[in-house]
Structure 1
Amino acid sequence: LKRGIDKAVVAAVDELKKLSVPCSDSISIAQVGTISANSDETVGKLIAEAMDKVGKEGVITVEEGTGLEDELDVVEGMQFDRGYLSPYFINKPENGSVELENPYILLVDKKISNIRELLPVLEGVAKASKPLLIVAEDVEGEALATLVVNTM
């Protein structure tokens, strides 16, 4: 029975590959998007527009919104789920943002809790008198406290 099912699966996949037609233009992408969105043409067109803007290798994320209109928001570069960890890092209080000009960037693939791990980097950055952007899983404890104190 299992061998029969396996053969049927292979045959079905082969047949689907023969019948499939790649979406090569914006119109066909909009049609597939419309069908996928329960025949909502507006959403289908938005999907096609998003595909045009980001290309085949781009990432498209669909999120539930709070407004009444569907909208497309294209983010160039990278976007992070979290921002700054402390409001004391804000240097543009008029809009509540942090802006760094030509910063050094430290990428860390773990949590930073011990400031001693950062001391060599912080000393080098201080000598250069340039800002430092840290992208890490998390910064906590004495490391966060020290960074906050040093930005004030």
Structure 2
Amino acid sequence: ASAAPLTQLVKNAGGSAEVVVSRVLAEAKTNQGYNVATGEYVDMIESGVLDPTKVTRSALQNASSISGLLLTTECLITNIKSDVHDHGGIPTMM
């Protein structure tokens, strides 16, 4: 799950996500990462590329909260969009 954001960024930039993610995860230095803008492996802190921890933590907390809610609920109601368009009883021209 922690590799998913990097995977998506590399795919969006047109790179090989598997190669980049495996190299970043294999790196012994914890600050080592891949700068998608330059295409280089760099020390992220020295390069000024930072991921705010609060954003990542909040996203994970919100996702787990909703997942827990869905697992404990007895009924879930959704609106299903219909392919048929209601024109108020007026026949269409086509």
Same fold (TM over 0.5): no
Higher RCO (Cα < 8 Å, 6 or more apart): 1
* Rg (Cα) greater in structure: 1
TM-score, normalised to structure 1's length? 0.18
